[in-house]
Amino acid sequence: MNEFRIHHDVNELLSLLHVRGGDGAEGYIDLLQKHRTPYVTTTVSAHSAKVKLAEFSKTPEDFLRKYEELKSKNVRNLDPLVYLLSKLCEDKETLQFLQQNAKERSESSANATSTTTTSYTLPPTSSKMSMQELEELRKKLGNVTASSNAPLPAEVTRKMLRDKHNKKNPTQPNPVFPNWVYDRPALLGDFIPSPNPQGDPTVSIGSMPLAAQELALVEDLLFVLVGVDGRDITAQPVLGRQNRSFIVDPTLDMSVKELVNRILPVASYYSTITRFIEEKSSFEYGQVNHALTAAMRTLMKEYLILVTQLEHLQLQGLLSLQKLWFYIQPTMRTMEILASIASSVDKGECMGGSTLSLLHDRTFNYTGDSQAQELCLYLTKAASVPYFEILEKWIYRGIIKDPYSEFMVEEHELQKEKIQEDYNDKYWDQRYTIVQHRIPSYLQKMADKILSTGKYLNVVRECGRDVTCPDAKEVLYTLKERAYVEQIEKAYYYASKVLLDFLLEEKELVSRLRSIKHYFLMDKGDFFVHFMDLTDEELKKPVDDIVPPRLEALLELALRMSTANTDPFKDDLKIDLMPHDVITQLLRVLAIETKQEKAIINAEQTDVALSGLEAFSFDYIVKWPLSLIINRKALTRYQMLFRHMFYCKHVERLLCNVWISNKDSHQYSLRSPKWFAAAFALRQRMLNFVQNIQYYMMFEVMEPTWHVMENNLKTASNIDDVLCHHTSFLDNCLKDCMLTNPELLRIFSKLMAVCVMFTNCMQKFTQSMRLERLSLEQTMEGLSVQSEHAEESDRKRMTTKFLAEHMDTHQSDASFEATIGKFDSNFSMLLLDLLDKLSIYSTNDCEHSMISIIYRLDFNGFYTERLERMAIERSQKAAA
């Protein structure tokens, strides 16, 4: 199931059942994921569920007939489905919803049909149809129905299978039998159509004495038992997968006829088995069916030997009809089982794993019949040999050699190089996949381990190392599952250890992850100070004006001048200029598979060009096989975290620059420092907010989560655990840094925008003050000439006083104070909104880590009273 499938299915079910309120889809999804355990349907529970559904059904006979039909075709998961339906019948509320939904759907489809169909009327007839015409019409309609339900001819089926294989493996075409194998029916030995036998047609067998009738029928039966028509017993033609039936001379004595009818089923079984062997032994039906037909052919040789011995007795005049019945009875059960298996495989169109599942189920179903169970065990062992040979190569060497598409693991042509290029590339998940209907039922529990074992070994092989499991032994089918389960588990543990050691030790996975952490999670402080100082002017430019090689050169310089110079993987760090700012990127990701997705994708691009700071990100070169862990999806998550923190660091630097420039302003505000107090206080609140958010993300989210991941990697037993821990680390960081909640993200982006606009305003104000100071200093030059005889200290004091008075006069109007007040109110309102939302999510959604932000920003209770007031107002609105 893919990443969003379970969410989609749950939402569809809720909408179909008109479920409202409660915990919503997320609650059901969590419940499903926590309690997703396989349910094993026993024979007793399946039978009771079938009986319950039959009682509930309006047409129980049709239901049972359909169930038996599906069972004969070996439909997978039939019993679990029946059990689920029986449980749904017990739930009255769910049943009512389903019935209402079915009624609405039928009404809507009826309305749609009524608007699109055209009524037709039969032409009037002048006379009624005779009974003979009616009977002929009925026969024609029956023939048409039978032909439409009949399976495709064998040659058509073979061609379809051959074309399917050749399309998948164009370099390895299927071998084909020559045409004469199929064009010469005498090779089949199954009741070849022939002209009437020579003899006196006037002599009827019913007119013969009873002893002569018996002798004639013994000869006929010996012919029929080997697929040749007799004189008085002839085979009916078969259509599709029907069982062979026979016509016996109606004049035959009733006592003899009764005994003949007891023996004829053996001939029908022989016909079914022979047709199955001849058809399924073709290459197109796979190696498992070929091995099964070979085992059946061996058993049929014993049967033919028995019939040959009976013919010798008949030639010697020692074989009567009763003796024939006596000798044939022990073989009858064997032939019945073989014919039943042949019919089930044929009806279910089984190949590979599905054939083995059917044989395994039959073997267990005959637990009380030792002879039948031994026969099925022999067939299952023989048929499983080619399947287990493919399995051995997969779990011991990581190689798939499956020319007829029978094995449970299917290989897809994917390029591992795309892992670093395509965000949606799923090489690890889709290069090798499980095909459910090819899994033998006795290997169902081990399917995931079998898939993982071969995948692990295959990764190591693709790195140029030949690996073979040292505990490799032949895997054989047995009723005791533990025998081959142990072999699979040994191979799995070996493959897990080989790949894990290869990645952790030889490829230094943990060191690579630490290197990525240095840059993307910003734990190399001196490097970022150097880098931001060096690239400050370059990143202020529009993204189209930035020269990437220049940024690469500055990055190289910053790496060499800082402690990052000791990192052996620093040369893999690269510059990447993204097409969107980080907020847009995050919102686009969060809108995937939602109603807002189309609106966001189709939204027109704004005319505001991105600056270098907004588009800037790092990228990292990762080679195979480390790209399995650090793939494009993981790197994109790292980039989101980095861009978010990098922009926060940029805003912090802007606020610190405002603080530096404001220090110069103190000397101009001798008489009215209150005018600057509001701006200085707001700047400090903004700086406190940005610094605390950064501290929370780095030291309360990323560092603890990183240490948890490092400890988990030490105890990981396979590469899937490593993938899971790494993905969990990134997901937790994104969630706790407020990057997965669109509502919090929008509020935070607005807060950052207010901070940036405030710094721009303050910088413009400071710049204007500097210009005013320059003009006033020029004015003061004239005054200094007049007071050249005054003392030096008096002259300086008079100059400073004059500048301060003129600067205060320039800013005495209310515009500056109103602007600062507007910034203050916007920042306070957004900050309160953020704290309020954080309080809601931390209590309702159990996001306890986010409450640390409230404790940091409201450390002295400054916002507590206002937050409580907002909570009361919200509860009153909800109650109303």
Residue 126: per-residue pLDDT: 45
Average the pLDDT over 65-94 and give the result. Answer: 76
Residue 666: per-residue pLDDT: 57
Task: Dig out the tokens for 447 from the structure.
Answer: 């399917």
Peptide bond before residue 625 is cis, with ω within 30 degrees of 0: yes
Task: Dig out the tokens for 784 from the structure.
Answer: 């200094």
Indicate left, alpha or beta for 405 from its phi (over 0: left) and psi (-120 to 50: alpha): left
Nearest to 539 by CA among 466, 625, 593, 617: 617
Are residues 721 and 709 in contact, defined by beta-carbon separation less than 8 angstroms? Answer: no
Q: Of 82-86, 233-237, 607-611, 806-810, give the lowest mean pLDDT range.
A: 806-810
Residue 107's alpha-carbon distances to 58, 101, 102, 110, 114, in angstroms, are 20, 10, 9, 5, 10
Residue 133: per-residue pLDDT: 65
Residue 2: per-residue pLDDT: 45
Q: What is the enclosing helix (H) or strand (E) of 574?
A: strand 573-577
- Asked if residue 23 has pLDDT above 70, the reply is no
Residue 388: per-residue pLDDT: 92
- Asked if residue 598 has pLDDT above 60, the reply is no
- Asked if residue 634 has pLDDT above 80, the reply is yes
Work out the angle between the directed axes of helices 632-665 and 674-695 (0-180°, nearest 10). 160
| pLDDT tens digits, one per residue of 727-774 | 999 988 988 888 888 888 888 888 888 888 888 887 777 766 666 555
Q: What is the rounded distance in angstroms from the CA atom of residue 160 to the CA atom of residue 156?
A: 6
The DSSP-derived string for 230-243 is -SSEEEPP--TTPP
* pLDDT higher at 795 or 648: 648
Residue with tokens 């009976």: 310
* pLDDT higher at 663 or 409: 409
Are residues 768 and 790 in contact, defined by beta-carbon separation less than 8 angstroms? Answer: no
Q: What is the rounded distance in angstroms from the CA atom of residue 21 to the CA atom of residue 730?
A: 31
* pLDDT higher at 671 or 97: 97
- Asked if residue 709 has pLDDT above 70, the reply is yes
Average the pLDDT over 90-98 and give the result. Answer: 76
Band of pLDDT at residue 838, cut at 50, 70 and 90: confident
Evaluate if pTM is beyond 0.85: no
Residue 121: per-residue pLDDT: 44
Q: What is the rounded distance in angstroms from the CA atom of residue 432 to the CA atom of residue 341?
A: 32
* pLDDT higher at 434 or 418: 434
Are residues 293 and 276 in contact, defined by beta-carbon separation less than 8 angstroms? Answer: yes
Task: Dig out the tokens for 791 from the structure.
Answer: 């003392």
Band of pLDDT at residue 563, cut at 50, 70 and 90: confident
* pLDDT higher at 684 or 803: 684
Residue 295: per-residue pLDDT: 92
Are residues 620 and 567 in contact, defined by beta-carbon separation less than 8 angstroms? Answer: no
Residue with tokens 């020269």: 547
| pLDDT tens digits, one per residue of 684-700 | 888 888 888 889 888 88
Largest separation between any pair of C-alpha atoms in the chain? 165
The percent of residues in the chain predicted with pLDDT above 70, rounded, is: 72
- Asked if residue 595 has pLDDT above 70, the reply is no
- Asked if residue 586 has pLDDT above 80, the reply is no
Q: What is the mean pLDDT of the chain?
A: 77
Nearest to 219 by CA among 206, 231, 207: 231
Give the distance, in angstroms, between the CA of residue 258 and the centroid of all CA atoms in the same chain: 60
Residue with tokens 């490593």: 722
- Asked if residue 597 has pLDDT above 50, the reply is no
- Asked if residue 348 has pLDDT above 80, the reply is yes
Q: Of 472-476, 584-588, 641-645, give the lowest mean pLDDT range.
A: 584-588
Nearest to 293 by CA among 383, 395, 210, 224: 383
- Asked if residue 840 has pLDDT above 50, the reply is yes
- Asked if residue 493 has pLDDT above 50, the reply is yes
- Asked if residue 195 has pLDDT above 80, the reply is no
Band of pLDDT at residue 708, cut at 50, 70 and 90: very high
Average the pLDDT over 454-477 and give the result. Answer: 84
Q: Of 32-41, 73-82, 524-533, 736-745, give the lowest mean pLDDT range.
A: 32-41
Average the pLDDT over 331-340 and give the result. Answer: 91
Residue with tokens 């049709």: 62
Q: Of 136-145, 725-734, 807-816, give the lowest mean pLDDT range.
A: 807-816
Nearest to 578 by CA among 488, 644, 514, 523: 644
> What DSSP state is assigned to residue 502?
I
Nearest to 383 by CA among 517, 254, 290, 259: 290
Task: Dig out the tokens for 128 from the structure.
Answer: 């009624």
Band of pLDDT at residue 202, cut at 50, 70 and 90: low
Length of the chain: 880
Band of pLDDT at residue 162, cut at 50, 70 and 90: low
- Asked if residue 200 has pLDDT above 50, the reply is no
3-state secondary structure string across 260-284: HHHHHHHHHHHHHHHHHHHHHCCHH
Are residues 176 and 283 in contact, defined by beta-carbon separation less than 8 angstroms? Answer: yes
The percent of residues in the chain predicted with pLDDT above 90, rounded, is: 7
* pLDDT higher at 491 or 593: 491
Band of pLDDT at residue 185, cut at 50, 70 and 90: low
For residue 222, the SS3 value is: helix
- Asked if residue 848 has pLDDT above 70, the reply is no
For residue 526, the SS3 value is: helix
Residue 812: per-residue pLDDT: 47
Residue 123: per-residue pLDDT: 45
Torsion (CA) 794, 799, 805, 806 in degrees, nearest 10: 160
Residue 760: per-residue pLDDT: 84
